[in-house]
Amino acid sequence: MQNLVQFPKEAGPIGIFDSGYGGLTIYNEIKNLLPEYDYIYLGDNARTPYGTRSFNIVYEFTRQAVRCLFSQGCQLVILACNTASAKALRSIQQLDLPHLDPNRRVLGIIRPTVECIGEITKSRHVGVLATEGTIKSLSYPLEIRKLFPDIKVTGEACPIWVPLVETNEFASDGADYFVKRHIDNLLARDKDIDTIILGCTHYPILIDKIRKYVPEGITVLTQGAAVAESLQRYLQRHPEMDALCTKGGVSRFFTTESDGKFGNQASLFLNRQIEVETVTLI
Ligand code: DGL
């Protein structure tokens, strides 16, 4: 069991965690909305994808990532990964934070994503494209039902989409086949869907291909803006946490894989060169 004294107590950067590159789509929106804060982004690229892994493994890997970010001084960590939010968030909040440090916070991204859905869908039929882990957890239908019991939710797991992004094949011709197949599967199961949630942070990187195969008239919802706005409201509601987040406008990037590889790929998604450090999660 970790003890409380091992983590720095003073204010620190906001931690943003994903299994790989996908959380950069969330980081980008957060950084645009809240540029004054410091951030540490951590991608567990060495062990991605999480979407096909068991509950226990995702929980253990996510817990290691949270500990790593805490040891870097983060008082607030965002799980910018739906799979980790679906499978590990509640256990970390309820079982780990009381031991690690009850004053720190770990937040997920599913709730902020579904909060806006009631205003977007007119047909009240919503589709969710996500990893196998997120779909099987039923987190999206359960969260949506709590807020909007009249909305029917249909999910489709897209297990190959994350590897397409992680292996830099997201723009290749071959990617079209897999992108189209899962969109067609989803829409075949419910013809009244008028809104599709991209419930995996990697998927906005495939957005050009997704838009190509989603029929006109259907809204494709990415999560970044909703998560960023929700974080902004959270910091306004919790000035005590805001005071524990440093504001120097500096971002650092950590990966569990090669720093050079992460730097090249991430620079593409971010449109700028970045410095990257390799870390080991234990
Ligand atoms: N980007 C992550 C998500 O939002 C998961 C990707 C994966 O590792 O399978 O679910």
**Measured from the CB, is residue 18 less than 6 Å from ligand 1?**
yes
Is pLDDT of 128 > 90?
A: yes
Cβ within 8 Å of residue 236, ≥6 positions away? 242
pLDDT in tens, 180-220: 999 999 999 999 999 999 999 999 999 999 999 999 999 99
Is pLDDT of 5 > 50?
A: no
> Residue 9 C-alpha to ligand 1 middle, in angstroms?
30
pLDDT at 3: 46
- How many Å apart are CA 222 and CA 199, to the nearest integer? 8
pLDDT in tens, 238-280: 999 999 999 999 999 999 999 999 999 999 889 999 999 999 9
**Phi, psi for 124 (deg, rounded to 5):** 65, 25
- How many Å apart are CA 215 and CA 32, to the nearest integer? 30
Segments of 216-275 assigned E as strands:
219-221, 251-255
pLDDT at 224: 97
pLDDT in tens, 213-241: 999 999 999 999 999 999 999 999 999 99
Is pLDDT of 7 > 90?
A: no
Question: DSSP 3-state assignment of 190?
Answer: coil
**Measured from the CB, is residue 178 less than 6 Å from ligand 1?**
no
Is the pTM above the cut of 0.75? yes
